[in-house]
Chain A
Amino acid sequence: AQKITQTQPGMFVQEKEAVTLDCTYDTSDPSYGLFWYKQPSSGEMIFLIYQGSYDQQNATEGRYSLNFQKARKSANLVISASQLGDSAMYFCAMREGGYSGGGADGLTFGKGTHLIIQP
């Protein structure tokens, strides 16, 4: 079974609208971290937002928020007021086990969602 599932291969959204990118995950480890990365055509993976499995509140970073529903094992990314520059690939990723000081286990990525913002 896939550990990270992103069911939307591509999405078209009008500029200034909010957009939700879906992500579901599968793990039996009670301690894990969930990440969203943005990958423009340049190839660089840009960190957007992080949610720990024990975090009580949903993470927010500027226009990005993470809708974390632990019982459903979902971690959807919400982008408010979308901009043309938001057009890119978006990847959901998970790190299992304790998140101890950054130098922990490798990330497992989903297949990504190609988001296109239309003017």
Chain B
Amino acid sequence: DAGVTQSPTHLIKTRGQQVTLRCSPKSGHDTVSWYQQALGQGPQFIFQYYEEEERQRGNFPDRFSGHQYPNYSSELNVNALLLGDSALYLCASSSTRNNSPLHFGNGTRLTVT
């Protein structure tokens, strides 16, 4: 039973560029959330997708956008990258059919130069 998988594991981009991160949820899960974890900090909630729609959003600018596909996989897009966007981006999945806790992937380490 595959857990949450994220790709790529590492990414280096230049300021002003755009980036897309991908996530496949754990089997049986239908909800995907994205978190940003800066070095030495706890993760911060970006947004959550369910039924292909953004259901809740944290305190992040519109440069951060996402998508969920019919197979429940999800993408996180960040436009006009800033140096401060360098972080570990974590994807988490859960199920609306039971009280399961969030299951996290290993994350994508994004470095903006």
Q: Give Cα distance in the complex from A108 to B92, angstroms.
A: 13
Q: Give Cα distance in the complex from A111 to B95, angstroms.
A: 26
Judge whether B45 and A102 touch: CB under 8 Å: no
Q: A102-B94, A103-B31 are in contact. Are A108 and B99 (CB under 8 A)?
A: no
A45: CB under 8 A from chain B? yes
Judge whether B96 and A47 touch: CB under 8 Å: no
B111: CB under 8 A from chain A? no
A29: CB under 8 A from chain B? no
Count residues of chain A with CB under 8 A from any CB of chain B.
24
**Which residues on the B side are within 8 Å of A56 (C-beta)?**
none
Within 24-57 of B, Cβ neighbours of A (below 8 Å) are at 30-31, 33, 35, 40-45, 47-48, 50, 55-56
Judge whether B56 and A45 touch: CB under 8 Å: no
Most chain B Cβ neighbours within 10 Å, of A4, A35, A47, A107: A107
Within 42-95 of A, Cβ neighbours of B (below 8 Å) are at 42-47, 50, 91, 93
Judge whether A103 and B88 touch: CB under 8 Å: no
**Which residues on the A side are within 8 Å of B105 (C-beta)?**
44
Q: Give Cα distance in the complex from A43 to B92, angstroms.
A: 13
Judge whether B94 and A106 touch: CB under 8 Å: no
A99: CB under 8 A from chain B? yes
Closest residue of chain A to B3 (Cβ to Cβ) is A44
Q: Give Cα distance in the complex from A107 to B97, angstroms.
A: 19
**Which residues on the A side are within 8 Å of B48 (C-beta)?**
103, 105-106
Judge whether A91 and B99 touch: CB under 8 Å: no
A residues within 8 Å of B by Cβ? Answer: 4, 35, 37, 42-47, 50, 91, 93, 99, 101-103, 105-112
30 A-B residue pairs with CB within 8 Å: A4-B42, A35-B101, A42-B106, A43-B90, A43-B106, A44-B104, A44-B106, A45-B43, A45-B90, A45-B102, A46-B104, A47-B104, A91-B42, A101-B97, A101-B99, A102-B97, A102-B98, A102-B102, A103-B31, A103-B50, A103-B55, A103-B95, A106-B47, A106-B56, A107-B45, A107-B102, A108-B45, A109-B42, A109-B43, A112-B42
